[in-house]
């Protein structure tokens, strides 16, 4: 039987088809050596993406009530339709590019209502010298909180105006891209979901406490979590996978503490 193409979506935070784009293209080439790939770029420079206004409407009423009518909902749907998502950005001033930050801000409601538990993520950065480590850590936190299984990351060094790179740097970049692509493909071919790590379990319990306790003041979050069955007693994680009992115990303690803080704050302002 012919292998089904793996659907890959690249969220490209570069304003041009430069080093970050070429690195993504190299990952595509490596993947296509071993599997059929349905590859799509979202060039954030070309989509209608407005700045978040900080109005809290998506948090309080739901993202469908956002007053901004741009392509954000379309981008979310594209992530749902993909098997794997590559978040790619150059490093600008020790952070993601402005395009990528606006993209993340416009989808920040997903931090409250995570949803991408089927999809795998690869994180890709390019930097002239330093900064990739911090940016990859930031992207890792965002993607994990959104529900993605982050399976690979690659931070390459590549500059635009200082001439060709030395041979050793080219080798290092190639090794990083090879390793990331192979880990990405292995995860995409794996059918069984992974067990959540400590960070994932903590995110679940830390999010569960306010979404349960703040039902009246955060109805959208409460309804979403209740509809998923995540507020049921004894629930250990978003999806039905084995959870390390130590992680669960630690998460339960943190959740208990969070609930106490929320209830105290409600009493203070009530």
Residue 166 lies in a domain: yes
CATH number at residue 117: 3.40.50.360
**How far apart are alpha carbons 215 and 227 in whole angstroms?**
13
CA 88 to CA 22: how far, in whole Å?
11
94 belongs to a structural domain: yes
176-213, pLDDT tens digit by residue?
A: 999 999 999 999 999 888 899 999 999 999 999 999 99
Compute the average pLDDT of residues 24-42. Answer: 96
Domain span at 241: 198-269
If one counts the domains in the chain, the total is 2
Is residue 74 assigned to a domain? yes
Does a structural domain hold residue 39?
yes
pTM above 0.85, yes or no: yes
Same-domain pairing of 151 and 235: no
Q: Are both 234 and 158 inside the same structural domain?
A: no
* Residues 210, 177 share a domain: no
Last residue of a domain, one of 189, 216, 247: 189
Distance of alpha carbon 261 from the chain centroid: 28
Greater pLDDT, 3 or 177: 177
Q: Is the four-CA dihedral 259, 260, 263, 264 of positive or negative sign?
A: negative
- Residue 179 sits in the same domain as residue 218: no
Domain boundary among 127, 154, 189: 189
């Amino acid at each position: 039987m012919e292998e089904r193409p793996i659907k890959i979506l690249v969220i490209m935070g570069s304003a041009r088809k430069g080093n970050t784009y070429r690195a993504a293209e190299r990952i595509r080439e490596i993947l296509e050596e071993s599997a059929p790939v349905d590859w799509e770029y979202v060039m954030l420079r070309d989509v209608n993406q407005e700045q978040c206004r900080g109005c809290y409407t998506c948090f309080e009423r739901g993202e469908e009530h956002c007053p901004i009518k741009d392509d954000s909902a379309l981008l979310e749907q594209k992530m749902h339709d993909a098997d794997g998502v590559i978040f790619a950005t150059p490093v600008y001033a020790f952070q993601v590019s402005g395009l990528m930050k606006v993209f993340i801000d416009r989808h920040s409601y997903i931090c409250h209502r995570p949803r991408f538990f089927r999809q795998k993520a690869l994180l890709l950065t390019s930097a002239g010298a330093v900064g990739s480590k911090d940016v990859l850590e930031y992207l890792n936190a965002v993607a994990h909180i959104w529900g993605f299984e982050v399976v690979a990351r690659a931070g390459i060094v590549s500059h635009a105006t200082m001439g060709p790179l030395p041979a050793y740097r080219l080798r290092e970049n190639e090794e990083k891209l090879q390793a990331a692509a192979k880990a990405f493909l292995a995860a995409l071919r794996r059918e069984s979901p992974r067990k959540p790590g400590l960070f994932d379990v903590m995110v679940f319990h830390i999010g569960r406490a306010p979404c349960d306790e703040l039902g009246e003041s955060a109805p959208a979050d409460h309804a979403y979590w209740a509809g998923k069955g995540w507020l049921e007693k004894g629930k250990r994680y978003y999806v039905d996978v084995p959870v390390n009992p130590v992680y669960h115990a630690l998460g339960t303690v943190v959740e208990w503490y969070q609930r106490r803080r929320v209830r105290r704050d409600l009493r203070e302002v009530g």
